[in-house]
A and B are shown apart, each in its own frame.
Chain A
Amino acid sequence: MSMTPTERPEAPKVEPTGPEPHLVKPYGDAMGDGAVQVSFSLPVPLSDESREAARRLAGKMGLTEPQVYHEADLGHGFSYFIVYGKCRHTVDIARIVVPRVAAAPMGFHEIDEFISHRLGRKVRVIGACTGSDAHTVGIDAIMNMKGFAGEYGLERYTNVETLNLGSQVPNDVLLAKALEFRADVVLVSQVVTQKDVHLTNLAELVDMVEAEGIRDRVLMICGGPRITHEVALELGLDAGFGPGTTPTRVASYFAQELERRWKAAGGAPVTR
């Protein structure tokens, strides 16, 4: 899981440098030139015709003044092109809103201390790759003791009790285990493919947790290569971490968010 736009600090305010400084477009070597480069391969051998096809395709992508700057024959009937062109569009950056979680980053020991002193009891975290998903690398990076990117995983924390259910866990099994485990946090790792099935599965899990009547006492977090906080919001989860996310990032979030919620509710939830 790598640093995603949602994990970067908020962009500095755009200082006025022209008549419409908040309207941004690509920069090549002059302000406002819109210069971009695109590269792609075509399933035809390199020829004058394929070169022209590449140029016209760039035009159809909306680029003006498309020019082929590099070409190569890839063999086996394929060719490769780098095309320069100009983008005519602008984006109003002042109107872009990127969701991000408010939690301050903490280190391993700091999180353990925080849970011990501020939450007053261990936090129970259950994790799984749900549905047909067999890609456990993300959930393991966060939960396994050996951790990821030089950080220990959640299993190493004194004040976090973990249960990692592994891969291809049906939603109803995850829900049943979360009830038995009296989970405070549900971590779901999901590799979202072009098909909607993984998203549909996440949305169903959220509805099941609601239907069981425990949504208020469970923090629901998803993670995976194409996951962002925006996706999480769209699906009804509390937060969504993308590629490169480390265990402390997730633990900092759930520790602080649980503290906020438990304080608002007058204490940790009573489990049934």
Chain B
Amino acid sequence: MDGIARVFDSDGVRTVAIVGCSKNSGQTTAMNHVLGGLQGAVDRVGIMSIGIDGEEADFWLGVPKPRVAVREGFLVATADKAIKGGTAQVRTIARTGAVTPLGELVLVRVEKPGLLLLAGVRHKADVRLLVELMFKHQAQKVVIDGSYQRIMAADPEVSNGVILATGAILGRTVKEVAKRTRATLDRILLPLATEAEERMLLEDAMRYRRPAVREKGGRIVVLPDPGAATDEGDLREAMGKGDAWVAIPGVVSERVLRTVAGHRHGRVRVVVQDPTRLFVSTPLLNKFRERGGEIVAGRAIRLLAIAVNPVSVLGYTLPEEPLLAAVRGVAPEVPVFSFHDKSFDAL
């Protein structure tokens, strides 16, 4: 079992989501490394992709993409017409009823190894259903591969560990890659809300599906509109004239955080469900924090490792050791691994 797979084997980790800092950051290559590392130790692995994995070439760039090789005993979620695009021999063991442009989303068991196209998983509800089905069919571990910068599968209700894929695609210099990787970490590594009162406030917000604000005096106001549709005036008024806590169920948008960051009468602590709900730009997040603002989460993401890919599909490679050192420098809290897909070396 290699390093990255050992990380997967950490306590209690059964479902790992691979999340990219951007498109082409090497999510599938990271998954392949994990699958390779598990060989011999874990046979019944469940895999799925929330985009499309295993196709020959990138749809936009035309460059080769890493294929997905599956072994006997793997449980794979894919659309039934996508099966034809692979070489592995599989048997359908469950149908989900979810219909995609590639047919119904099904769960298959690999009977003879080969390549397989993973497609058709789009909704979080489908991901959760499939994870459940995979464990019901005796999967030992489940790996969910990401797509673009999508973070949906990192929701702690879906997965209990995350591997972040980053790499040369993020910038032409080591410094730029490290900076942008840190920006992603700043969004996804939110501390857990530990105070009983802030957790209760979040529970209120989730129950009403509306933001709940607790102002300095202890008064709690539940706003009339859902989080993403919050009226700025209502929010400002609810925060009152001192420190405030704002619990937001669902999306925390740029517009809402800008309103919170504009609170001049005290410090604000924002309580979110989990980090996958935060959709704000790095400059605004930094500005908010510099002014003493805090963001905590009802459920935190457990980051297991960062997988660094020094090769960019755009045809350049960054020096591996300095890149690793730079990423380790900005991410001292987690193990950092390097790998790259050798098929890109030919570019």
Contact = CB atoms under 8 A, between A and B. Distances in A.
Contacts of B225: 179-180
Contacts of B119: 99, 233
B59 A234 contact: yes
Contacts of B59: 230-231, 234
Given A172-B251, A229-B101, A234-B51, A95 B84 contact: yes
A213 interface: yes
Nearest to B169: A196
A204 B122 contact: no
B255 interface: yes
Interface in B68-110: 81-82, 84-85, 97, 99-102
Contacts of A100: 101
Interface in B240-271: 249-251, 253-256
Interface residues of B, number: 45
Contact of B82 (A97, A102, A175, A204): A97
B84 A235 contact: no
Most chain B beta-carbon neighbours within 10 Å: one of A203, A211, A230? A211
B250 A213 contact: yes
B101 A232 contact: yes
Interface in A76-98: 94-97
Interface in B200-240: 209, 225-229
A171 interface: yes
Given A97-B85, A272-B209, A233 B122 contact: yes
Interface string B18-34: 00001100000000000
Contact of B227 (A192, A212, A232): A212
B120 interface: yes
A97 B117 contact: yes
Nearest to B124: A210
A99 B101 contact: yes
Given A211-B276, A212-B250, A234-B59, A180 B229 contact: yes
A101 B119 CA distance: 14
Given A172-B254, A204-B279, A211-B251, 7 more contacts: A97-B82, A171-B279, A172-B228, A172-B256, A203-B150, A233-B100, A235-B147
